[in-house]
């Protein structure tokens, strides 16, 4: 048995690998073996259902200045927008009509809409009988509590990287400990919590990526979003190369092996870097797809990175296409809310 095979066997049996073992599997020659193992764990842990989420990117207004992100405060070339409450609710209504059991609401980080206004939107969306996932950045405990009470069920907040020096370099004004505190607060409040990381950042070591995976396991995430870094031409990292596709797939696959029963999306960034990236991810551990359902004509302005897959897709057509894709790979569209079911 090769070392790759024996480590994967250990992973399959115990859902436990050390940092050194993860580094080995992140870099070994036989990536396909890692993907196959993750696919087997996925089948055992969450079955063949693929849960679809309707994504509403409702505002690109952001007070943060993350060096990698296209909607950072310091990018003057972004036309800033925030959908009206009516537009958000209408997008959610359309998602519900298309069959989505979950609506994901994501935005840059800012004070708009005001807390009370967003709570009003959440109550109206909740009345449609869908699960709600929020992804709107770092907020106070009280604000997270208000959104929970208004109907939010889940929250996505990627830690981005567990390398604190790298984190600080990528946004000198942000604070890693503060972000970690937010994840703790969300858990305390009873949210289903998602986190994850970017892969392929400049000066990011494979060892730190192994520690990112162990971090997700340690804090006990319910969802893990992992994607490649894609340089945006209007950011300080514009001259970097998008090298993270393969490594982000491996990171995702190993996260699946350590966390067999969580929800893991095939990320849009993967689909953006490779024409078949989404399917490859679904066959390497992922069990969730998030598709854009936003109305209001501002999707292209929500450019975290360039050439984002699916920005111009008509929601109804995209839904039909993904249903066909899911069938073609022998899987089925998930029913209901698609919450994490703990094994
Ligand atoms: N503002 C919110 C959510 C929006 S950003 C927050 O901070 O959580 C959503 C995710 O997009 C980020 O967590 C980051 O991991 C990813 N992202 C940002 N810029 C990117 C880029 N250039 N390439 C790939 N992913 C990127």
CA of 330 from ligand 1 middle (Å) equals 31
Q: Please give the Cα distance from 341 to 253 (Å, whole number).
A: 19
Residue 117 contacts residue 87 (beta carbons within 8 Å):
no
- Quickly count: other Cβ atoms within 10 Å of residue 83's Cβ: 23
CA of 314 from ligand 1 middle (Å) equals 23
For ligand 1, whether the C-beta of 198 sits within 6 Å is yes
* Ligand 1 atom closest to residue 232's alpha carbon, by position in its atom list: 22
- As given in the structure block, the two tokens for residue 238 are 């514009």
DSSP class per residue in 238-307? TTS----HHHHHHHHHHHHHHSTTSB-B--HHHHHHSTTHHHHHHTTT--EEEEE---SS-GGG--SSTT
> In which residue are the tokens 């073992």 written?
21
3-state secondary structure at position 337: coil
| Top mutation candidate among 57, 69, 274, 306 for ligand 1, by most atoms within 8 Å of CB | 69
- As given in the structure block, the two tokens for residue 289 are 């797809």
Q: Please give the Cα distance from 285 to 293 (Å, whole number).
A: 24
CA of 160 from ligand 1 middle (Å) equals 8
Per-residue pLDDT of the chain (343 residues; tens, 9 = 90+): 999 999 999 999 999 999 999 999 999 999 999 999 999 999 999 999 999 999 999 999 999 999 999 999 999 999 999 999 999 999 999 999 999 999 999 999 999 999 999 999 999 999 999 999 999 999 999 999 999 999 999 999 999 999 999 999 999 899 999 999 999 999 999 999 999 999 999 999 999 999 999 999 999 999 999 999 999 999 999 999 999 999 999 999 999 999 999 999 999 999 999 989 999 999 999 999 999 999 999 999 999 999 999 999 999 999 999 999 999 999 999 999 999 998 8
pTM, two decimals, is 0.98
DSSP class per residue in 124-160? HHHTTS-EEEEE-----HHHHHHHHHHT--EEE---B
340 contacts: CB under 8 Å, gap ≥ 6: 192, 222, 223, 261, 262, 263
Q: Which phi and psi angles does 307 have, rounded to 5°? A: 55, 35
Closest alpha carbon to 189 in 113, 271, 107, 134: 134
CA of 285 from ligand 1 middle (Å) equals 21
């Amino acid at each position: 048995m090769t070392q790759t095979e024996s480590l994967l066997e250990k992973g399959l049996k115990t859902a436990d690998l050390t940092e050194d073992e993860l580094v080995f599997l992140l870099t070994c020659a036989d990536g396909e073996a890692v993907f196959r193992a993750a696919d087997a764990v996925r089948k055992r842990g969450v079955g063949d259902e693929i849960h679809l989420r309707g994504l509403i990117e409702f505002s690109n207004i952001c007070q943060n200045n993350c060096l990698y992100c296209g909607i950072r405060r310091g990018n003057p070339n972004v036309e800033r927008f925030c959908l009206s409450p009516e537009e958000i609710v209408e997008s959610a209504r359309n998602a519900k009509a298309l069959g989505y059991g979950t609506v994901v609401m994501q935005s840059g980080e800012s004070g708009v809409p005001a807390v009370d206004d967003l709570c009003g939107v959440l109550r109206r969306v909740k009345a449609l009988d869908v699960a709600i996932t929020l992804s709107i950045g770092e907020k106070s405990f009280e604000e997270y509590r208000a959104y929970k009470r208004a109907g939010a069920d889940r929250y996505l907040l990627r830690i981005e990287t567990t390398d604190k020096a790298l984190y600080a370099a990528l946004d000198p004004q942000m604070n890693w400990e503060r972000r970690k505190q937010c994840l703790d607060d969300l858990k305390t409040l009873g949210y289903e919590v998602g986190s994850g990381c970017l892969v392929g950042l400049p000066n990011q070591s494979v060892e730190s990526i192994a520690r990112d995976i162990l971090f997700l396991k340690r804090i006990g995430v319910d969802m893990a979003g992992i994607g490649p870094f894609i340089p945006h031409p209007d950011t300080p990292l514009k001259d970097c190369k998008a090298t993270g596709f393969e490594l982000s797939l491996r990171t995702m696959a190993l996260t699946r092996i350590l966390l067999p029963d969580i929800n893991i999306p095939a990320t849009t960034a993967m689909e953006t870097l490779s024409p078949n990236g989404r399917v490859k991810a679904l066959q390497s551990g992922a069990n969730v797809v998030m598709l854009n359902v936003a109305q209001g004509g501002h999707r292209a302005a929500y450019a975290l990175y360039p050439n984002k897959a699916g920005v111009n897709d008509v929601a109804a057509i995209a839904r039909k296409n993904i249903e066909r894709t899911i069938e073609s790979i022998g899987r089925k569209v998930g029913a209901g809310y698609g919450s994490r079911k703990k094994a």
